[in-house]
Amino acid sequence: MSEMLERLQREKIVAIFRGIGQDHADAAAGALIEGGITMMEVTMNTAGATRIIDSWRTRFGEQAAIGAGTVLDMGMAVEAIDAGAQFLISPNLDEGVVALGASRGVSVWPGVMTPTEIVRAWSAGAEAVKVFPMGTLGWKYLAEIRAPLDQIPMIATGGVDLDNIGDYFRAGACAVGMGSKLVNLEWAREGKLDQLRERAAAFAAAARGRR
């Protein structure tokens, strides 16, 4: 098991930053870290994503693991890794990206939905997969596919909130990916860092079973 997968299974939440401006990104990330969320990704369809990754590695490298999301192809993967991304997450499966990550020492957690895709990703060398879109499929779907595939770590992404996060973990998720329910862009833009911090603390507590 890689160090990054170990961290993922310990921390249990990946914060997804999509569409945030660089002028707000550092402060928002700092607020989440203070709240107890220490794994975060910047999606590659965010303007200036690689600059944000580079900035976060410099500012928060000792406190947090920084990755890239929405990594669709090899080109994006190379850009993200060169910027300092420590893990890559995709909505899709590209075996070439999985192989590149392995060659560069960067964890790759590709997006899958069906049992066939999950096993294909595992066979390609992915040490964990992102089951997406969970907002449509729901935790019961996760529980069903985990029954025969329980040896493959699965990250549930989409539709997770404070009320159902426990259901996803009980269904077998090793971690969850969280976007707007955790990273409120309006708060970030308005400088409401206390609210971001409090929201992060609530989710961190829930992920560790303290809620």
What are the tens digits of pLDDT across the range 31-87? Answer: 999 999 999 999 999 999 999 999 999 999 899 999 999 999 999 999 999 999 999
Q: Which of 41, 117, 140, 144 is catalytic?
A: 41
Averaged confidence pLDDT in the chain: 96
pTM: 0.96
3-class secondary-structure state, position 126: coil
Ordered by where they begin, the domains of the chain are 3-206 (3.20.20.70)
CA geometry: angle 204, 102, 208, nearest 5 deg: 15
Q: Which of 11, 12, 127, 130 is catalytic?
A: 130
Instruction: Give yes or no for residue 210 having a pLDDT over 60.
Output: no
State yes or no: is 140 an active-site residue: no
- Helix ranges restricted to H, the chain: 3-11, 22-35, 49-60, 74-83, 95-104, 115-124, 134-137, 139-146, 165-170, 185-190, 193-207
